Amino acid sequence: MTRRIGNGCALNVRGFEAHAAVFQKARDAAVRGSSGMIRGTVAIAVEDLRKVYHVREGGSWRGRTREITALDGISFSVAAGEIAGFIGPNGAGKSTAIKILSGILRPTSGIVRVGDLVPWQDRRAHVARIGVVFGQRTQLWWDLSVAEGLGLLRDIYGVDPERFARNRARLTEALDLGGIMDQSVRQLSLGQRMRAEIAAALLHDPEVLILDEPTIGLDAPSKLAVRAFVRDLRRERGTTVLLTTHDMHDIEALAERVIVIGHGRILTDSPFQDLRATTLSERILEADFVTEPPVLDLPHGATETMRDGRSVTITFDPRLVPAQVLVAQLSAVPGLDDLRIGRPAIEEIITRFYADHAT
Amino acid sequence: MRAYLSAFVLQGRIGLRYRIAVAAGLVAQLWFGAITLMAYASVYHHAPDAHAPLTLRQAMTYTWLQQSLFRLLPIGCLPSVGDAARTGAIVYDLLRPVDMWAWWLSSSLAWLVGAAVPRAILLAAIAGPLAALLGLEAWSLAPPVSMTAAILALVSFGLGALISATIVMWWNVLTARTLSPLGANAIAVPLSVLLSGMLLPLPLYPPWAQTLLLLQPFAGITDIPIRLYLGVAIPGGAGTAIVIQIVWLAVLTLFGRAWMRRTVDRLEVQGA
């Protein structure tokens, strides 16, 4: 019932904007929305989602219960075939949202549709169509080998033998599982286990893949392998991916769209490049000198942020001081050896963003 | 259906993997059995068989059967459910397109049967034919009193295994609810050991307690099947005994399923 309702970008209803619009209204808006883009179908639609936990305090049975609002009315949608990154500091409500979308948790109020199903109401039908990886938990069975675990999942999801053989072969190759198929899961390294976990989540060709911190604790090559796999998956199979992570490089490598969540609300929902541009437009210039650097007379908009031996780090706003002006000025300084200009690390962008919205 | 069967087969196979545990269990069970037998022998020496609800020979066979089937008792939640509750991996159980009750039940049943059957066969072989061959027939596990008794006992043991697995399901739900296996396991052991007749055969409790003891669910696990095996009179006859088992199975399943539904609805697995 929610199929074919315009493209994803037009549906980026921000959390702090009018929630009054019911699902139907969001749908109309989407159809009327920006033209010229391909019309996808909406895989995930969330409208004014709230979740209040009742936490007992004091330990004993006389303890009072306190209400904690984990989600305070969030709305967003993800188009079919889109990769959306879901980020926010610890305790922001990401996991709660992920659990509701997975059908594990019942929200206090709000509308959620994944495909045409309400996750917590049509639990069994819903979970048959999604794949989920929780990076901090294992879905394979410790006492079984990877192959046995995949066989059990085949029976759970009722994957027919031919499709199972095909998918298993494909995933074994793409995730390099050949050498570990007959090892029991308890013997796997974290990187090996995570690759097996991802295979386990995809055996039944889910339409939506939910990855909750899939690269946590992985080494660099494993992270790259996971990212490459997810990119290929989206490209080749059109799988919709919802990703949460604390590793901003995951977001940079994968997500076209970033939904930043904080205090149970959506702080921003925009393409990653926009987030970068609006939050932190600063550039960083590093200058090395052959001898002890002289005192620099910098123009307005540029400040010296660090001095270490023979190198100086300068932070500048390119809107006030164009890079070429600064470079020209520094080139005139005697003893200059080398110059490098870069953008701040993505962690800094996000840290700055959280700080700006920490109210 | 296939998923439940696979879960059963794989869980059963895990049970068979621990051969050292089987050997250790066997030694412990033989030891406890022998001590219990000596205690009975001394008690029966002062109280003649005629007034006892069980003869000394029946009490010995009862004890050996209980010891053989110790692992059939619901002495805790399914270990994998306990682990999943503690680590939070229980979220994955909610993510499977299966009937969660049937899914856990098939694993729980395999856990019990996979552990109990190899031990039972070995211990019964040692306490029965082997003991008789060694000239210890007076202390041995006697065969069923008749063919009918054997068949009734077999059916009843089957129902007993199902009742036990269903009680394990209650521990599983409690574990999912409290997100820790500790509470369930703390109450499971004393309840199982006392009420199943493992510690003291239920027929040997005072007469005023007999009806109550027979009508509680744990009697249906091993006590009722053993009574049928021994041919001990049960009020209402063998038919009533089996009906008691079936009623408990139905009641525990019905209320257990309802409890599980409520638990799953309010389950809030914290953390990432």
Query: Tens of pLDDT along B147-163?
Result: 999 999 999 999 999 99
Q: Average pLDDT, stretch A353-358?
A: 74
* Count of other CB atoms within 10 angstroms of residue B150: 14
At residue A53, the pLDDT reads: 86
A4 φψ region: left (φ > 0), alpha (ψ -120 to 50), beta (else): left
Contact: B272, A134; criterion CB under 8 Å: yes
- For residue A207, the chain B residues in CB contact (below 8 A) are none
Q: Average pLDDT, stretch A249-273?
A: 85
The neighbouring-strand residues paired with A286 are A313, A340
Contact: B10, A152; criterion CB under 8 Å: yes
Give how far Cα A174 sits from Cα of A177, A221, A253, B142, Å: 8, 14, 18, 61
Tens of pLDDT along A39-86? 357 789 999 999 998 877 766 666 678 888 889 999 999 999 899 998
Give how far Cα A241 sits from Cα of A238, A256, A348, B94, Å: 9, 11, 25, 20
Chain pair A-B, CB pairs under 8 angstroms: 83
Q: Is the pLDDT of residue A322 over 70?
A: yes
At residue A28, the pLDDT reads: 42
> In Å, how far is B96's CA from the nearest CA of chain A?
6
Q: Is the pLDDT of residue A104 over 90?
A: no
Q: Give the nearest partner residue to A128 out of B6, B87, B97, using CB atoms.
A: B97
Q: Average pLDDT, stretch A294-310?
A: 85
Residue of higher predicted confidence among A157 and B138: A157
Residue in B15, B2, B203, B214 with CA at minimum distance from that of residue B109: B15
By C-alpha distance, the chain B residue nearest A143 is B14
Q: Average pLDDT, stretch A136-165?
A: 91
| Pairs from A353-357 (Cβ < 8 Å, separation ≥ 24) | A353/A260, A353/A267, A353/A268, A353/A275, A353/A279, A353/A280, A354/A88, A354/A89, A354/A262, A356/A279, A357/A260, A357/A262, A357/A267
Determine the Cα–Cα distance for residues A251 and A230; give it in Å rounded to an integer: 12
Q: Average pLDDT, stretch B225-234?
A: 91
Contact: A139, B7; criterion CB under 8 Å: no
| Phi, psi torsion values for A144, nearest 5 degrees | -105, 160
Q: Give the nearest partner residue to A137 out of B6, B91, B98, using CB atoms.
A: B91
> In Å, how far is A273's CA from the nearest CA of chain B?
27
Contact: B6, A138; criterion CB under 8 Å: no
Determine the Cα–Cα distance for residues A20 and A88; give it in Å rounded to an integer: 25
- Exposure letters B3-33 (e unless 16+ CB within 10 A, then b): bbebbbebbbebbeeeeeebeebbeebbeeb
* Residue B9 touches partner A, C-beta closer than 8 Å: no
Residue of higher predicted confidence among A18 and B179: B179
Determine the Cα–Cα distance for residues A198 and B148; give it in Å rounded to an integer: 54
Place of tokens 């109450």: B187
Determine the Cα–Cα distance for residues A341 and A330; give it in Å rounded to an integer: 12
Q: Order the strands of the A130-134 sheet from edge to edge.
A: A130-134, A208-212, A240-244, A83-87, A257-262, A265-271
The full set of domain ranges for chain B reads 2-265
Q: Which stretches of B105-237 are assigned E, i.e. beta strand?
A: none
Q: Is the pLDDT of residue A300 over 70?
A: yes
Q: Give the nearest partner residue to B92 out of A95, A105, A137, using CB atoms.
A: A137
Residue in A240, A212, A270 with CA at minimum distance from that of residue A2: A240
- State the best of A61, A101, A141, A202 to mutate against chain B, taking most chain B CBs within 10 Å: A141
Give Cβ neighbours of residue B164 (< 8 Å, ≥ 6 apart): B72, B73, B74, B112, B221
> In Å, how far is B87's CA from the nearest CA of chain A?
7
Contact: A137, B95; criterion CB under 8 Å: no
> In Å, how far is B46's CA from the nearest CA of chain A?
51
The neighbouring-strand residues paired with A258 are A85, A270
Q: Average pLDDT, stretch B213-240?
A: 92
A→B interface, C-beta within 8 Å: 53, 90, 95, 99, 102-106, 123-125, 127-128, 130, 132, 134-139, 141-144, 148, 151-152, 155-158, 212-213
- For chain B positions 98-127, those within 8 Å of chain A (CB to CB) are 98-99
Q: Is the pLDDT of residue A211 over 50?
A: yes
Residue in A75, A72, A54 with CA at minimum distance from that of residue A63: A54
Contact: B3, A156; criterion CB under 8 Å: yes
What is the share, in percent, of chain A residues with pLDDT greater than 70? Answer: 85
- State the best of B92, B93, B262 to mutate against chain A, taking most chain A CBs within 10 Å: B92
